[in-house]
Amino acid sequence: MEERLGERFTYHCPPAGGASVVWGTDTYTVDSSVCTAAVHAGMIGFDNGGDVTIEVEEGRDAYTGSQRNGVSTLAYGAYDSSFVFVSAGGPRSTPVAAPSATATTPPTSGTGSAAYAELLTHIHPTIAATCREIDPAAAGALAVANCAPEDVIIDPDIVIGDVVYVRYSEVGEVRERLQSKVEEYGESLGEDCAAGPAQLLNDLSGEPVGRLLCLEDRLYGGTVVGWWTDERLNLLGSVLLYEGDFADLLNVLDVAQARP
């Protein structure tokens, strides 16, 4: 994409769209969904859609995730190219090599692929009822569920950013993804997630099934964040609290990991 630096392209985002995967805030990785990023940036809304113009820029050393306008974006490390928005609602021009369906028409929430439907069967019903399907291609996964169980579990004083479940085809991918989080945040060992940062064996019903990572959040704008793996399902999960402490995080994790 280096040959495209400085060029501008206009995308048409149809009405009644849904969220797809985005990395960054204000400046986004070039493989992010343009239409979802436009909603995050406040340029358009999912209901009405619209035309948005981006400009391709150089890559950044790091991208920060955040929650805006009902869209949660992800943090990422170095990437080779980026885009920013320069206008909305203007005349349409030729997009980069005809944008893909993922870029112009994000997948709608709800039911969807068989892999996603199967993933939902492994999620606690209280949380599963709040989930929507995310395009798994960007994560290299079989299925991704992004859930928002705010006000339905634990305590109304806790502000839950999201609960995400990502299912992979190989357990090695799960371990690799968790290790990337350790490297991103730094090794943080402890004996109890409720007391502070910790990386522990993940025991469910007395059976070790993976690892559990609880850390102060310094990437997504929250307070604390936790990841866990369930190697029986090739599953990587995450929980973000915008308000709450480590004890709250552990309580939410208990529910998030509970299988039907």
Stretch 219-238: mean pLDDT: 90
Give the pLDDT band of residue 152 (cuts 50, 70, 90): low
pTM higher than 0.85 for the full model? Answer: no
What are the sequence ranges of the domains in the chain? 2-104, 114-257
Residue 151 has pLDDT above 60, yes or no: no
Stretch 116-120: mean pLDDT: 91
User: Would the CA dihedral through 152, 251, 213, 27 be positive or negative?
Assistant: positive
DSSP string for residues in 100-124: -HHHHSPPPSSS--HHHHHHHTTS-
d(CA 31, CA 134): 15
d(CA 88, CA 90): 6
d(CA 167, CA 151): 26
% of the chain residues with pLDDT over 70: 86
| DSSP summary character for residue 23 | B
Query: What is the per-residue pLDDT for 239?
Result: 92
> What's the CATH number for 2-104?
2.170.130.20
Beta carbons of 202 and 235 less than 8 angstroms apart? no
Contacts of 84 (CB under 8 A, 6+ apart): 26, 27, 28, 54, 55, 57
Stretch 46-66: mean pLDDT: 88
Q: Give the model confidence (pLDDT) of 187-210 as tens digits.
A: 777 788 898 899 899 888 788 899
Stretch 49-59: mean pLDDT: 89
Neighbour-count burial of 160, counting CB atoms closer than 10 A to its CB (0-12 exposed, 13-18 middle, 19+ buried): buried
d(CA 6, CA 66): 25
* Amino acid symbol at 125: P
